[in-house]
Amino acid sequence: MGFPLRTLRGLKTLGPLSLWLMCATSILWGTSCIPESHPLPATGTPTEAMRTTVSQALEVLQDQELKKPEHTDERVTRLKQIADVRFDYGEMAKRSLGGQWDKLAERERQQFVDLFTELLTATYMEKIHAYSGEEVTFLNERLEGNHAEVTSIMVGKKTEIPMDYRLMKKGDDWKAYDVVVDGISLVQNYRGQFAAILRSSSYEHLVHILHEKNAQYNVKTKSAEERTSSP
């Protein structure tokens, strides 16, 4: 497990470790032995919200039954449903696109949020197997109005990696809009790449790249499912 940036047709994605971290910070569900229920928003302090989320995430990732090939779809479904609860994809997309966001019509904004959400979902679902027993310890939090930053450290067998969760208060819940792993911000990573594409080409070309990348992930996922279901 490393933290490389990988390039695919002009767009880099965070490596397996950071993608697992995104999973781990976006799951609020029990293990397979617990009756299925709808995920509930976290309340209390930002740290309490993240601690609950990560604790439940680790239960899912460590569940031996869910690691079996025949339960891959169930594992992925749980991850996606809870990611939809915890992460504010609209805010992440807006911050990742930067100044270009203000130039878009409402229909274009929704299209970009949908493409960005599909990219993040497909990427972390492809990498959930990267988890190998790491644990997360929370250190402190910093509050500024309706925004918060929760600091923690992920401890593995041979590594200790700092992680910061950036959240904003929406109603009675705290929504995550960025994850910073060992000093690398997911939002800033994409914002830099999107800005480079916009400078050298156009917004339409960026949309084309996102469509293409998502299509490639879909093909890879379908192939993996077919291999898993083959006798």
Closest CA to 161 of 142, 178, 176, 181: 181
- How close are the terminal C-alpha atoms of the chain, in Å? 30
Length of the chain: 231
Tell me the Cα Rg of the chain.
18
| Tokens standing for residue 169 | 């208060």
Residue 52 CA to residue 71 CA, distance in Å, equals 24
What is the tens place of the pLDDT at every residue in 149-170?
999 998 888 888 899 999 999 9
Residue with the larger pLDDT of the pair 180 and 231: 180
Residue with the larger pLDDT of the pair 6 and 212: 212
Inter-residue contact 213 to 9 (CB < 8 Å):
yes
What is the tens place of the pLDDT at every residue in 90-141?
999 999 999 999 999 999 999 999 999 998 887 776 666 666 777 889 999 9
What is the tens place of the pLDDT at every residue in 7-49?
334 455 544 444 445 444 432 222 222 223 344 444 588 998 8
Task: Note the pLDDT of residue 89.
Answer: 93
Count of alpha carbons within 13 angstroms of residue 147, beta-carbon side = 6
Inter-residue contact 122 to 217 (CB < 8 Å):
yes
DSSP E strands in 145-214: the ranges are 147-155, 160-170, 173-181, 184-185
Q: SS3 of 182, please? A: coil
Phi and psi at 185, nearest 5°, equal -85, 130
Q: What is the DSSP string of 39-68?
A: -----S-HHHHHHHHHHHHHHHHH-TTTTS
